[in-house]
């Protein structure tokens, strides 16, 4: 106790001064005086240990009151033994009262002070009354019988005591207020705060600290907290606390299990504090769990935005390139087709077959590229069960699996409800994922699972391969990202897969098989039941190839009906083979280079009645949409017989126009058979007027 120490020092000083007086031969410093003072000094040791054991503030206060009374009594005894050296009294009383006023509560201090005042008055007035007498050898005047002097001394002494108590009480009150304010801050702090003693014990922990499992300071050692912390961190913290006792501050972030069981992250500072004889380490911590989560989320979003930005750029590039490739590809494909239709020597025929196959492959790549760019964003949907679609997609994979010695397994969990799907797209998803899995796990197992979820269907593709390293995982879905040898992979599979899944409002993610109790890679696709269905777009881009165009032509000719088609496209190399194919199919074809030429031809009385118009969308001069709008005003019936041929379904503008007009579209590059079939289909429906 600080107060006790101060009192001990004061009493010690008095004993020392008495000793000096004694040595100097002062007669009033008799042996009994010195003895009593030594006893007094010894008592401070007793008080010290008694106070140390007192647990709460009320007990300490009561003890201090008792100690003050004993002190005052001893002071009076010393005075008496020193033969009424009364002028020592007030000084000693002041010191005693001051020291007790520092720590006593108001009423205890008042009681102690009153006792001191009464004892003092008794001593002085006792001498005046002649009950005891001061030693005349001392310079102090004799008081016996001098009542007015006695009363004067008592009053002055009391005033001095009163002033001292007021002074110290004010000081004490101020201290208390500071202490209260500090306590409020301490208790209301959002940070947890406690201090550690060199022996590993704890002092004062605030309420927040207790939430984090910092135990009751008076009983628990610091090591009790370390049990709530992962062992590696606990060792590090113990080291930092030791370093702080040696004067080194530090900060450390670690996890802790709170008393409610929640695991939280803390940022804790360890600061040396206390005095030289009383070293402490102040431990202050802030809960940074939310901060860390927010930072992680921010990082994730930043990465996503960066990746989205990259993807958008790639998408724009890809869509532009794909679009530009469409017309040349259409010309190659269509001229090739025309040549193939004619009788040729076997060698030429073989070469033409190869050219056709390669052009078809190029067309598939261009379509994939457009898918990556989320270009063909509105594919037709039909109602189907994912498990049916998956089963169908797996059939052709069996051969690839067998060749790689892979065991291909399919499981269905729960009852999968039918949902609106781009069936060809989902087949593509399965093909891409399973194909990658087979590549990754030769001689292994590929497990495909379809399971019903609360709001849709989940598709899992797991393999027993080596899994996906973190650096690959980060770039997995980027277009053109591949780890396969040139010619083995294009790096488009997963980009396309993600595009298709996202068009379904779904998500795709990859997990490491080990985390889900397997090995290798584990892809998870979730397809929600409720998605906004795209506007139904008539899609003659993949019509069944009827062999009936020739038959239809023959029958048309047979019945003497002449069917006239108008072909509007600015690129002659694209238009010509189309015109030839239609003519071969029995159509009369009128070719125009743009919308204005087409309108002019339509207004020309010499032009025969038109049955179908096949128009490009992007053309210099009057483009497809402008032509359509004019036609709708001038010849609304004919406007319902328009088929658009375009390689630009990528742009939103075009997609909107097609959706609004309801006109069918055939995507370039198409085969001539597809074109003829689409035109046949267009005219097969009765003309609405
Ligand atoms: P590609 O198959 O043409 O390389 P993808 O986009 O389909 O393109 O795949 C990109 C890359 O992702 C692959 O090259 C491969 O490194 C990795 N990958 C995909 N699936 C798996 C899998 N099941 N196991 C290991 N790596 C895979």
397 has a pLDDT exceeding 80: yes
Q: Higher pLDDT residue, 416 or 15?
A: 416
| Segment of 145-159, 201-215, 403-417 carrying the highest mean pLDDT | 403-417
Q: Are residues 499 and 597 in the same domain?
A: no
380 has a pLDDT exceeding 70: no
Q: Higher pLDDT residue, 301 or 272?
A: 272
Q: How confident is the model at residue 550 (pLDDT cuts 50, 70, 90)?
A: very low
**Residue ID of nearest Cα to ligand 1 atom 11:** 482
Residue 433 C-alpha to ligand 1 middle, in angstroms? 8
548 has a pLDDT exceeding 80: no
Check residue 84 and give its pLDDT. 55
Separation between Cα atoms, residue 602 and residue 597, nearest integer Å: 9
Q: Are residues 149 and 207 in the same domain?
A: no
Check residue 540 and give its pLDDT. 34
Q: How confident is the model at residue 557 (pLDDT cuts 50, 70, 90)?
A: very low
CA of 440, closest atom in ligand 1: 24
Q: Tell me the pLDDT tens digit for each residue of 504-547.
A: 888 999 987 665 566 789 999 999 986 544 433 333 333 323 33
- Report, as an integer, the average pLDDT of 253-271: 90
Domain count, the chain: 4
Q: Is residue 303 part of a domain?
A: no
Give the residue from 662, 645, 658, 626 showing the smallest Cα distance to 579. Answer: 645
Lowest-pLDDT range, 309-313, 400-404, 431-435, 495-499?
309-313
Separation between Cα atoms, residue 555 and residue 578, nearest integer Å: 21
Q: How confident is the model at residue 552 (pLDDT cuts 50, 70, 90)?
A: very low
Beta strand pairing call for 612-616 and 250-257: unpaired
State the CATH number of the domain containing residue 426: 3.30.565.10
Check residue 28 and give its pLDDT. 67
Give percent above pLDDT 90 in the chain: 27
Q: Are residues 27 and 83 in the same domain?
A: yes
- Report, as an integer, the average pLDDT of 630-636: 93
Q: Given the structure tokens 């010309």, which residue do they identify?
A: 331
The best mutation among 442, 490, 494 to test binding of ligand 1, ranked by most ligand atoms within 8 Å of the C-beta, falls on 494
Residue 360 C-alpha to ligand 1 middle, in angstroms? 24
Residue 398 C-alpha to ligand 1 middle, in angstroms? 19
Separation between Cα atoms, residue 188 and residue 207, nearest integer Å: 8
**Residue ID of nearest Cα to ligand 1 atom 23:** 437
Check residue 537 and give its pLDDT. 36
Q: Are residues 19 and 111 in the same domain?
A: yes
Q: Tell me the pLDDT tens digit for each residue of 87-101.
A: 555 555 665 665 565
Domain end, chosen from 509, 528, 547, is at 528
Length, in residues, of the chain = 689
Q: Are residues 254 and 329 in the same domain?
A: no
Residues with CB under 6 A from ligand 1: 432, 436-437, 440, 463, 465, 468, 472, 476, 481-484, 489-491, 493-495, 521
Q: Tell me the pLDDT tens digit for each residue of 35-54.
A: 887 888 888 888 888 877 77
Q: Are residues 484 and 602 in the same domain?
A: no
Separation between Cα atoms, residue 150 and residue 81, nearest integer Å: 19
Residue 527 C-alpha to ligand 1 middle, in angstroms? 21
Q: Are residues 366 and 390 in the same domain?
A: no
Beta strand pairing call for 445-453 and 407-413: parallel
Q: Is residue 293 part of a domain?
A: no
In order, the DSSP letters of 127-180 are HHTTSS---TTSSSPP-TT-HHHHHHHHHHHHHHHHHHHHHHHHHHHHHHHHHH
Q: Are residues 159 and 203 in the same domain?
A: no
SS3 content of the chain, % helix, strand, coil (to 5): 55, 15, 30
Q: How confident is the model at residue 272 (pLDDT cuts 50, 70, 90)?
A: very high
Look up the domain containing 572 and give its range. Answer: 319-378+537-689
Check residue 141 and give its pLDDT. 63
Q: Are residues 494 and 616 in the same domain?
A: no
Q: How confident is the model at residue 55 (pLDDT cuts 50, 70, 90)?
A: low
Q: Is residue 301 part of a domain?
A: no
State the CATH number of the domain containing residue 270: 3.30.450.20
Residues 6+ away with beta carbon under 8 Å from 43: 70, 74
Q: Is residue 394 part of a domain?
A: yes
565 has a pLDDT exceeding 90: yes
Separation between Cα atoms, residue 336 and residue 91, nearest integer Å: 123
With H, G, I as helix, E, B as strand and everything else as coil, classify residue 634.
Answer: helix
Residue 476 C-alpha to ligand 1 middle, in angstroms? 7
CA of 477, closest atom in ligand 1: 6
Name 449's bridge partners: 411, 460
State the CATH number of the domain containing residue 688: 3.40.50.2300
Q: Are residues 370 and 389 in the same domain?
A: no
548 to 585, 588, 651, 672: CA distances (angstroms) = 10, 17, 34, 14
Lowest-pLDDT range, 129-133, 490-494, 684-688?
684-688
CA of 493, closest atom in ligand 1: 7
Q: Are residues 52 and 198 in the same domain?
A: no
Separation between Cα atoms, residue 599 and residue 546, nearest integer Å: 31
Q: Is residue 308 part of a domain?
A: no
Q: Is residue 298 part of a domain?
A: no
Residue 604 C-alpha to ligand 1 middle, in angstroms? 59
Sign of the dihedral through C-alpha 523, 527, 533, 537: positive
Check residue 393 and give its pLDDT. 93
**Residue ID of nearest Cα to ligand 1 atom 20:** 436
Q: Is residue 30 part of a domain?
A: yes
Q: Are residues 338 and 268 in the same domain?
A: no
Q: Tell me the pLDDT tens digit for each residue of 178-195.
A: 888 888 888 888 888 888
Mean pLDDT taken over the chain: 81
- Report, as an integer, the average pLDDT of 343-362: 83
The best mutation among 436, 476, 501 to test binding of ligand 1, ranked by most ligand atoms within 8 Å of the C-beta, falls on 436
Domain end, chosen from 148, 167, 185, is at 185
Q: Is residue 304 part of a domain?
A: no
Q: Higher pLDDT residue, 429 or 106?
A: 429
Give percent above pLDDT 70 in the chain: 83
Residue 520 C-alpha to ligand 1 middle, in angstroms? 12
CA of 481, closest atom in ligand 1: 10
Domain end, chosen from 142, 159, 185, is at 185
């Amino acid at each position: 106790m600080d107060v006790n120490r101060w009192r001990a020092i004061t009493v010690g000083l008095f004993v020392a001064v008495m000793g000096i007086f004694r040595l100097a031969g002062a007669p009033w410093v008799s042996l009994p005086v010195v003895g009593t003072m030594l006893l007094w000094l010894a008592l401070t040791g007793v008080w010290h240990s008694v106070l140390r054991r007192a647990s709460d503030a009320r007990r300490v206060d009561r003890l201090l009151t008792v100690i003050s009374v004993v002190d005052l009594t001893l002071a009076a005894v010393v005075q008496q033994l020193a033969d009424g050296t009364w002028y020592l009294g007030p000084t000693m009383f002041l010191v005693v009262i001051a020291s007790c006023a520092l720590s006593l509560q108001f009423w205890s201090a008042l009681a102690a002070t009153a006792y001191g005042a009464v004892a003092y008055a008794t001593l002085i007035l006792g001498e005046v009354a002649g009950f005891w007498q001061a030693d005349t050898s001392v310079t102090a005047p004799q008081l016996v019988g001098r009542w007015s002097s006695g009363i004067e001394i008592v009053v002055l002494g009391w005033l001095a005591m009163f002033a001292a108590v007021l002074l110290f009480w004010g000081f004490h009150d101020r201290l208390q207020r500071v202490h209260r304010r500090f306590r409020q801050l301490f208790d209301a702090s959002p940070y947890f705060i406690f201090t550690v003693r060199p022996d590993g014990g704890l002092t004062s922990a605030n309420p927040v600290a207790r939430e984090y499992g910092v135990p009751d300071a008076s009983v628990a050692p610091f090591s009790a907290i370390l049990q709530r912390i992962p062992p590696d961190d606990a060792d590090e913290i113990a080291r930092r606390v030791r370093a702080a006792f040696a004067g080194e501050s530090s900060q450390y972030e670690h996890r802790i299990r709170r008393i409610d069981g929640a695991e939280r992250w803390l940022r804790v500072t360890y600061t040396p504090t206390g005095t030289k004889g009383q070293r402490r380490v102040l431990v202050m911590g802030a809960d940074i769990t939310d901060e860390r989560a927010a930072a992680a989320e921010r990082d994730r979003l930043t990465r996503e935005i960066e990746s989205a930005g990259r993807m958008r750029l790639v998408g724009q590039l890809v869509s532009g390139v794909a679009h530009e490739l469409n017309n040349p590809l259409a010309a190659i494909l269509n001229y090739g087709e025309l040549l193939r239709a004619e009788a040729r020597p076997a060698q030429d025929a073989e070469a033409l077959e190869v050219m056709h196959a390669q052009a078809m492959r190029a067309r598939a790549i261009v379509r994939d590229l457009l898918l990556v760019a989320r270009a063909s964003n509105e594919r037709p949907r039909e109602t189907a069960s994912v498990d049916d679609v998956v089963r169908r997609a797996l059939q052709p994979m069996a051969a690839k699996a067998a060749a790689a010695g892979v065991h291909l397994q399919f499981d269905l969990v729960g009852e999968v409800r039918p949902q609106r799907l781009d069936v060809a797209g989902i087949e593509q998803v399965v093909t891409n994922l399973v194909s990658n899995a087979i590549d990754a796990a030769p001689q292994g197992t590929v497990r495909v699972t379809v399971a019903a979820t609360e709001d849709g269907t989940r598709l899992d593709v797991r393999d027993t391969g080596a899994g996906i390293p973190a650096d690959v995982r980060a770039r997995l879905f980027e277009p053109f990202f591949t780890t396969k040898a040139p010619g083995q992979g294009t790096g488009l599979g997963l980009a396309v897969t993600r595009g298709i899944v996202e068009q379904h409002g779904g998500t795709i993610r990859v997990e490491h098989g080990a985390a889900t109790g397997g090995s290798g890679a584990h892809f998870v696709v979730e397809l929600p039941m409720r998605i906004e269905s795209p506007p139904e777009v008539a899609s003659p881009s993949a019509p069944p190839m009827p062999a009936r165009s020739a038959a239809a032509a023959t029958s048309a000719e047979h019945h003497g009906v002449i069917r006239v088609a108008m072909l509007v496209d600015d690129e002659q190399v694209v238009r010509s083979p189309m015109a030839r194919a239609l003519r071969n199919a029995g159509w009369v074809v009128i070719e125009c280079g743009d919308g204005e030429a087409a309108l002019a031809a339509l207004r020309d009385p010499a032009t025969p009645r038109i049955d179908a118009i096949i128009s490009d969308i992007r053309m210099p001069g009057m483009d497809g949409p402008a032509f359509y709008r004019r036609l709708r005003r001038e010849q609304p019936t004919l406007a319902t017989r328009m088929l658009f041929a375009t390689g630009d379904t990528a742009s939103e503008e075009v997609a909107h126009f097609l959706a609004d007009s309801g006109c069918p579209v055939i995507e370039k590059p198409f085969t001539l058979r597809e074109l003829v079939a689409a035109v046949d289909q267009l005219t097969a429906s009765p003309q609405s007027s």
